Amino acid sequence: MQPAANLNHAAVQVEDDRTGLTPETLKRAFLDNLFYIQGKFPRLATQHDYYMALAYTVRDRLLQRWISTAAAYTEQGSRTVAYLSAEFLMGPQLGHNLVNLGIYDIVQQAVADLGLNLDELMEQEAEPGLGNGGLGRLAACYLDSMATLEVPSLGYGIRYEFGIFRQDIRNGQQVEVTDKWLRLGNPWELPRPEWAVDVKLGGHTEAYTDRSGRYRVRWIPYQVIKGVPYDMPIAGYRTNTCNTLRLWSAQAPEAFDFEIFNSGDYLGAVQDKLSSENLSKVLYPNDNISQGKRLRLAQQIFFVSCSLQDMLRILARQGLALSQFSQKFVIQLNDTHPAVTVAELMRLLMDEHGLSWDAAWDITQRSIAYTNHTLMPEALEKWPVDMFGQLLPRHLEIIYEINHRFLEQVRARFPDDSDRLRRLSLIDESGERYVRMAHLACVGSFSINGVAALHTELLKQDVLKDFYELYPEKFNSKTNGVTPRRFMVLSNPRQTEMLNRTIGDTWVSRLDELKRLEAKAEDPSFQHDWHMIKQANKGDLANYMAKQNGLVINPESLFDVQVKRIHEYKRQHLNVLHIITLYHRLKASPNLEVPPRTFIFGGKAAPGYHVAKLMIRLVNGVAEVINHDPAMRDRLKVVFLRNFNVRLAQRIYPAADLSEQISMAGKEASGTGNMKFALNGAVTIGTLDGANVEIRDEVGAENFFLFGLTAPEVYALKAQGYNPWDYYQGDPELKQALDSILVGTFSRGDGEVFKPLIDSLLNWDPYLLLADYQDYVACQERVGQAFCDRTHWTRMSILNVARMGLFSSDRSIQDYCRDVWRTPAVPIELTDHAQLGE
């Protein structure tokens, strides 16, 4: 290990402006950054300049913690979680960092003293939307909790130049616009070009014998790409810990390929540079669907290889041996997107570091843990063997060898069971040959987990049944959680203030303490205040909807909300069938006693997923008819909020009365929006799917609106032969709803538009909308009645919040630490920077 340079003499006297937390210091620092980083003075400065000046002011305070944290980890060689994920849906950073540093109020005041408004400055931030939905947002919540719990961790992912597209709605339809989030600069990242690494792609392999006579393989790639890390600080809530999210950006290794350049092909050389940089250009916008594109596989090996090389660098820097890899690091695979880790770690250890197969395999298997996030067959990743071999010839060889040894073991355990061998093999040979990434992850890991109790059970019984029979000890369940810092404290200040006033503020990092609210559930004055807070939050969202959608929304109406990715299995169209039914009922009986409702939708559809796009169009078509019908004024409104992202989510959850969690049972692995709603006092209408099951157990059946088939009932109905037509014929209201769509009532008379959607429902209906329709509509009637009894509803709302303590991501992370990672907490003391030079 090379000694650190002695910087004692050069040690910069870190002056108070960089670290101080008093209003005076913060103001001085802010102006300093405006002048010397933005190079602006107030008359020329834009709101964005002010935002940047404030962001740098906050960043300085983070860096102080970051450096102390890095120094402590380096010195102590702390066991570290490497969280590998193709997605981190971080959301805006400024507000969240202010909360975690505990300086939100002070900064708000300091900014106000300068004549500025903190909310407006926060609006300037382009959010890093480097994820699609639940999987990416979960990774972001987990980073927050790991830092809060003082768990050494490194998030590893891709610095996509374009994150998830911005969704515009034109003529009721989704239009995708590229997300240029880096356009005005990103103050929350530090480039670390000195830690860049090379990643090989393509080409071929050659066998050779090394000097000690051992068989070795060398890989002659077609292309080499440089990965440059960009670090984002991840501050814990009121701790000194500040961990790192390290995102890799792809670059050509040299600005020009000199061989081509010298041959005179200047443009070809530049072309090569462009194609290298394509690797981290754009996030694939699919949620729960695998794309099977070569570029996607290239992205996966790119960030996996960069991250593993980085870990090996850190290991060496700390003076640890390769054999200590699994003591220093535990690698968590966030679904199969990084599953090629298994083969790449083997390759690095054998081909680049000279270990034997057995030594490398021992390290690999001890280091890797795998989380599965879906039961959707179309999301299970598999790569055509040819494509895989062309891009990663060496990895394919390694996978074949892993498979060979693995199947030997299976054969020994289950002789004469060729069917089982076929099912377990890492290679799918039923038609075109594919590499099965989930199988690679299962064989290469010591832990396999699902993300909610029901999901893990279904993995064991169905999707990963054969692996469960082989390795029952690897399986465990880790129910998801969400961070209360972002999804309560930051997004719902009114409720937070009331909670603090009632039970103190320690619940923010010990969410179980919300239990103490139960005592207040019957208290009329508490109920009144609670209700007023919800009304105020609904008023804010009503104003936003007035601006965005030009609609006058009654904040007294029941806000019935479904926000999440648009997907057939999530059944936004079941929600729509209920709206149409209610509309028909109100048209037929204008005196029907139902509370006024505002139906709110939000969510993106994958650009290539036509039915999902039709579902958006249907919501907007129904909105157009109902919102323009004078008879529906003050009774029903339908709103589609464009561009659902983290920032918009934070506006919506606090204003919801009813949370729609209506997936077909057995399809939603967990859900996390369900948790965010309930933590903000919304009551759930839902099926027994994913974490809904556990949420209902916690909040009590009487405070949850349950409907629909259970997972076993779903399987039974399908097995017995499901015919949606029977339901259509047997239920006049259902028939009327579907017919009205079909004849063009919600498409300006055009009977063609929604035909594919309705045809699919009537002929196939894979997600059993028609089977669940009646029960759903009946359940919605009970919701309407309950809402009319304000005391009753408010009591349910309070009890939902009081009993949701389990669903903090802090609890999830504690479970992972205890059962999987075995990573002790490492408390950080803020160091005097002068000492770090020693």
Given 299, 307, 480, 562, the residue binding ligand 6GP (CB under 6 A): 480
Strands 197-201 and 705-706: unpaired
Place of tokens 């465990």: 476
DSSP 482: B
Strands, DSSP E only, in 603-749? 636-641, 658-661, 683-686, 705-706
Would you say 163 or 724 has its CB closer to ligand 6GP? 163
- Write down the least CB distance from residue 667 to ligand 6GP, Å: 8
Write down the least CB distance from residue 287 to ligand 6GP, Å: 5
Pattern 85-124, ligand 6GP, x by CB under 6 A: ----------------------------------------
Interface pick for ligand 6GP out of 81, 82, 111, 135 (rule CB under 6 A)? 135
Distance of alpha carbon 514 from alpha carbon 499, whole angstroms: 8
User: Which of 49, 127, 189, 287 forms a contact with ligand 6GP (CB under 6 A)?
Assistant: 287
Shortest Cβ distance from residue 307 to ligand 6GP (Å)?
A: 19
Shortest CB 699 distance to ligand 6GP, Å = 18
- Which 214-273 positions form the footprint of ligand 6GP (CB under 6 A)? none
SS3 236: coil
Q: Which of residues 347-406 bind ligand 6GP (CB under 6 A)?
A: 373-374, 379
Considering beta carbons, is residue 142 or 388 the nearer one to ligand 6GP?
Answer: 142
Question: Which residues, 16 to 75, sit near ligand 6GP by CB under 6 A?
Answer: none
Alpha carbons within 13 angstroms on the beta-carbon side of residue 758 total 21
Stretch that binds ligand 6GP, among 134-142, 351-359, 456-464, 523-531 (CB under 6 A): 134-142
Total number of residues shown for the chain? 838
Give whole-number Cα distances, 771 to 566, 752, 774, 776, in Å.
20, 25, 7, 10
Q: Which of residues 288-317 bind ligand 6GP (CB under 6 A)?
A: 288
Which listed residue (133, 152, 172, 236) binds ligand 6GP by CB under 6 A?
A: 133
Instruction: Return the beta strands (E) in 166-300 as ranges.
Output: 166-170, 173-177, 190-191, 197-201, 204-209, 215-220, 223-235, 242-251
Nearer to ligand 6GP by Cβ, of 754 and 821: the residue is: 821
Closest CB to ligand 6GP among 134 and 157?
134
Region of 1-9, 129-137, 229-237, 457-465 interacting with ligand 6GP (CB under 6 A): 129-137
Contact (CB, 8 A) for 129 and 161: no
Report strand pairing: 597-602 vs 558-563.
Answer: parallel
8 Å CB contact between 351 and 218: yes
Binding residues for ligand 6GP, how many (CB under 6 A)? 18
Report d(CA 333, CA 437) in Å as an integer. 12
- With CB under 6 A as the contact rule, which of the stretches 127-135, 231-239, 340-348, 648-656 interacts with ligand 6GP? 127-135
End-to-end CA distance of the chain: 15
Which residue is nearest to ligand 6GP, using beta carbons?
Answer: 134
C-beta of residue 799 within 8 angstroms of C-beta of residue 603: no
Select 456 or 491, whichever has its Cβ closest to ligand 6GP.
456
Site for ligand 6GP, residues 658 to 717, rule: CB under 6 A: 668-672, 690
Please, which residue, 233 or 671, has the CB nearer to ligand 6GP? Answer: 671
The encoded tokens of residue 320 equal 């640890």
Binding range to ligand 6GP, per CB under 6 A, among 133-141, 347-355, 408-416, 458-466: 133-141
CA 418 from centre of chain: 39
From the list 65-73, 131-139, 521-529, 652-660, the region that binds ligand 6GP by CB under 6 A is 131-139
Q: Which C-beta is closer to ligand 6GP: that of 249 or that of 670?
A: 670
Contact call for residues 88 and 136 (beta carbons, < 8 A): yes
- Cβ(681)–Cβ(534) under 8 Å? yes
Least spacing, CB of residue 381 vs ligand 6GP, in Å: 8
SS3 category, 475: strand
| 293 phi, psi to nearest 5 deg | -95, 145
Q: Which of 92, 128, 134, 163 binds ligand 6GP (CB under 6 A)?
A: 134
Question: Is residue 335 within the footprint of ligand 6GP (CB under 6 A)?
Answer: yes
Exposed, middle or buried, 76 (CB in 10 Å: 0-12/13-18/19+)?
A: exposed
Q: Which phi and psi (to 5°) does residue 166 adopt? A: -85, 135
Q: Which amino acid is at 540?
A: D
Q: With respect to ligand 6GP, which residue has the nearer C-beta, 139 or 228?
A: 139
Q: Are 625 and 746 in contact (CB under 8 A)?
A: yes
To ligand 6GP, the closest distance from the beta carbon of 369 in angstroms equals: 15
Write out the catalytic residue numbers: 373, 564-565, 570, 672, 676
Q: How far is the CB of 241 from ligand 6GP (least distance, A)?
A: 24
Q: Give the residue with the Cβ less far from ligand 6GP, 98 or 441.
A: 441
Distance in Å, CB of 463 to ligand 6GP, minimum: 12
Question: Using the rule CB under 6 A, which residue among 138, 355, 574, 695 binds ligand 6GP?
Answer: 138
**Least distance (Å) between residue 436 CB and ligand 6GP:** 14
What is the number of helices (H) and of strands (E) in the chain? 34, 25
Three-state SS for 84?
Answer: strand
Q: How far is the CB of 561 from ligand 6GP (least distance, A)?
A: 17
Q: CB under 8 Å, gap of 24 or more: what pairs does 745-748 form?
A: 745/625, 746/580, 746/618, 746/621, 746/622, 746/624, 746/625, 747/617, 747/621
What is the nearest approach in angstroms of ligand 6GP to the Cβ of residue 672?
Answer: 5
Instruction: Give the residue among 669, 769, 759, 771 at the shortest CA–CA distance from 720.
Output: 771
With contact defined as beta carbons under 8 Å apart, do 216 and 45 qualify? no
Our CB check for ligand 6GP shows the closer of 363 and 379 to be 379
With a CB cutoff of 8 Å and minimum separation 6, the contacts of 561 are 599, 600, 601, 652, 655, 656, 657, 658, 659, 660, 677, 682
Contacts (CB under 6 A) with ligand 6GP, residues 436-455: 451
- The stretch among 39-47, 132-140, 294-302, 385-393 that binds ligand 6GP (CB under 6 A) is 132-140
Which residue lies nearer to ligand 6GP by CB, 135 or 443? Answer: 135
**Cβ(363)–Cβ(349) under 8 Å?**
yes
Q: Give the binding site for ligand 6GP (CB under 6 A).
A: 133-135, 138, 287-288, 335, 373-374, 379, 451, 480, 668-672, 690
